Structure 1
């Protein structure tokens, strides 16, 4: 009899916890929808993602091949119009097609790089914060050493040592961008590991892996998601800078960064703005929208913020 009553009480507690979780999720969604800039940013990013995925179907021309004019000559630096909505570049390639394919490359680099940085940072932060002592000291001193170097300078140094390629750019950006996530996760773990429910799980004999994965990691997902979103904007900027300098994504593969390299010519910079302005505007708009979404997520996932 007592056992059945205990089972019923346990089931009621689980149902209440599930209802509370659903209410928190619903409240976070309501807070996010109230942020107009965050909703606008999410819509624009969704459009960019759709364009990137459907690039082969949407692009009017090949991003790698030169286009020819009415008399069979190559359309070099042709202004917008005459079948080319954004004109052509110095090799006669359609700018709109290269912008669409460039978004696919730049967003892919940013996504993979942020995944690498997040996984590395979360793992090191969890280990450092949970175990403390000499483990924490070693990890944080390594983190401090990496932080001493500017991310772009460190990325350029590594990129010049390795052969520039799309794959290497993803790895490089990911491996030089994990420090912020590590410090963030470590601070959250230091706060949570002294909580009473963590002490209770230890007293119940649960091992460290279960405590970390079931009781600590789920409770720090909100700041991880927000930081990962903001790091995506940084990854796009880093990729653009590396490609602009010639040590990132290499031609003829289009990326928004190496398309800006056309602006190194004074003639193009002053008299042919359609060659570099679309890529620059795409970078600007994407980063702005990512920051809008990041700010919206931060406010929505903060339990201290009232509905």
Structure 2
């Protein structure tokens, strides 16, 4: 038995998902916007980067389907099962997700302490008794990693054999699906700007092969090793994807309305409105951002500590702090986009077609929505993606200095923070930092590459933006 669990961040991610679906449905009814977005996806880099971003979002969605499992019945003193008089079922305090079920092998095979990727032995020596009865210092054998290996000489060969088997079992369905889709596509009439199907097939195949390889080999080895308390590093880095995707998206959506409304209003109406907006963002920029965010996060911590009755579960407390951090990052990071939009709106408001609209008596808000906003959309879209990347990196920095997400929440910043002392060891424990860096790097790189293609398609001064 299980009990579905909805956190506030879960609700927000599902709202974002439905909003994206509605956006694409509305996009199909707008020929001009559809032509511009089609240009984004007809480029090889744009389509490949988009697939990688969707892959990360899919993992975040799977990790947002939370539930609590029922606790097992307790036996009484005479061996009978003790139950509540009214038949009440008690549930675990541990909130799990669908992703935890998929990654069960990664989550359930904990060791005592550090172990290197694909290792058979622990990374730290322990006192052991030899066959002769002496106490010696040696590397103990791992409890789960490579426990099926009888002789150490079989280790490398076993990894290659299991890798080949995982790839073989995964690539055959991929090739079959690609063949069927290619055959179906050939029967359709050719289009003017076809999608780069070679890149799409290759990217999807690589991602599917990677998933199949991880799920297969994680049954036998710790692919990226374990941390200080023996938890699988790969499992932690995958669980941190939800935190990275959500903090980048939610903080960006908080930034957007503030920057757009204030920036366009200041540039279009000028006068006192412009003075007030400039005063606000100049004052905000004069305060060190890290100090402002740290002070706000500490206030949230104080609120949580003084109101423990509002947070019955650890996950609820961590989720509240996470959403508060997204809001704080968004509120303190809108000034850059606001300045860009103000400057662009000042220029656009002096153009001939805007002056003509004023002469014909067109209302201010209609001019903003018909003439100003469409011509600054490319700036907004680029800033959205770039801010997303900046917020993902900011979470890592804030968690590194101790004012980020809750320590109980999986995040790349917490992994890097916990790995500070590991880098001073001899030999160095490098895999925790490397795992967090690689997954964060791939997400940020895909977002930046995708933003470049969006800029090319939506910038009115570019060839494709004038479609």
Is the counterpart of residue 290 in structure 1 residue 299 in structure 2?
Answer: no
How is 1:143-154 mapped onto 2 (pairs within 5 angstroms)? 143-154=281-292
Aligned to 2:171: none
Q: Could you tell me whether the CA contact under 8 Å between 2:224 and 2:234 is conserved in 1?
A: yes
Task: Identify the range of structure 1 (120-129 vs 150-159) with the bigger mean alpha-carbon deviation.
Answer: 150-159
Higher helix share: 1
1:26 is aligned, of 35, 39, 44, to 35
Is the counterpart of residue 48 in structure 1 residue 56 in structure 2?
Answer: yes
Higher strand share: 2
CA-based RMSD = 2.8
Query: Which of 1 and 2 has greater Rg?
Result: 2
CA–CA separation in structure 1 for the residues paired with 2:443 and 2:45: 13
Task: Identify the range of structure 1 (286-295 vs 203-212) with the bigger mean alpha-carbon deviation.
Answer: 203-212
Aligned to 2:350: 194
Write the deviation string for residues 1-45 of structure 1: whole angstroms up to 9, x where unpaired.
xxxxxxxxxxxxxxxxxxxx73675256336633x4444322222
SS across alignment from 1:264:
coil
TM-score, normalised to structure 2, is: 0.54
How is 1:43-122 mapped onto 2 (pairs within 5 angstroms)? 43-55=51-63, 56-59=97-100, 60-61=102-103, 67-68=108-109, 74-81=111-118, 82=145, 83=219, 84-122=222-260
TM-score, normalised to structure 1, is: 0.80
5+ residue gaps, structure 1 = 1-20
Runs of 4+ displaced beyond 6 Å: none
SS across alignment from 2:301:
coil
5+ residue gaps, structure 2 = 1-29, 64-96, 119-144, 146-218, 303-320
**Aligned residues between the structures:** 281
Q: 1:264 to 1:52 in 2, by over 3 A?
A: same
Q: Could you tell me whether the CA contact under 8 Å between 1:113 and 1:235 is conserved in 2?
A: yes
Q: Could you tell me whether the CA contact under 8 Å between 1:102 and 1:254 is conserved in 2?
A: yes
CA–CA separation in structure 1 for the residues paired with 2:301 and 2:224: 32
CA–CA separation in structure 1 for the residues paired with 2:238 and 2:325: 20
CA–CA separation in structure 2 for the residues paired with 1:302 and 1:32: 16
Q: Could you tell me whether the CA contact under 8 Å between 2:226 and 2:232 is conserved in 1?
A: yes
CA–CA separation in structure 2 for the residues paired with 1:281 and 1:288: 10
Aligned to 2:408: 252
CA–CA separation in structure 2 for the residues paired with 1:28 and 1:54: 27
Aligned to 2:203: none
